[in-house]
């Protein structure tokens, strides 16, 4: 798990280190605090990573919208998007889907994976 993911859950989602631990039991509380310490020592680097990820997301949304021929809107309302990202399981599914798109395999939605449910 990347430091930026832990920092996102802490800074942007308002999770405590204990919440992060509950969502990611494979981590130790010490590892979470180490990641947050690294984040605070390297905020510019992490914020740049967030900016690049946001640009990628915006580009993907634009590509998806342009590819739609049936006129169905592709964007979720902001409040629904926020809800989806604030649940650990859905945040993991979204990160997996973004990795698939970056790898050139966008056809498979992580919701189709039996393990993602």
Q: Burial of 22 by CB count in 10 Å (0-12 exposed, 13-18 middle, 19+ buried)? A: exposed
Q: Is the pTM of this model over 0.75?
A: no
CA distance 75 to 84: 13
Please give the chain's pLDDT, 117 residues, in tens.
Answer: 899 999 999 999 999 999 999 999 999 999 999 999 999 999 999 999 999 989 988 888 887 777 665 555 555 555 555 555 555 666 677 777 777 777 776 555 545 554 443
CA distance 25 to 47: 25
CA distance 27 to 22: 9
Which residue in this structure is represented by tokens 């966008």?
106
């Amino acid at each position: 798990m990347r430091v930026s993911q832990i920092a996102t859950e802490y800074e942007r989602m308002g999770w405590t280190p204990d919440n992060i631990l509950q969502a990611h039991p494979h981590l130790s509380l010490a590892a979470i605090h180490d990641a947050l310490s690294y984040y605070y020592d390297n905020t510019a680097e992490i914020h740049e990573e967030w900016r690049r990820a946001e640009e990628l997301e915006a580009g993907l949304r634009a590509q998806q919208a342009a590819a739609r021929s049936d006129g169905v809107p592709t964007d979720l309302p902001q409040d629904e998007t926020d809800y989806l990202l604030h649940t650990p399981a859905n945040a993991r599914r979204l990160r997996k889907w973004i990795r698939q798109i970056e790898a050139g395999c966008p056809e498979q939605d992580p919701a189709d994976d039996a393990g993602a449910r």
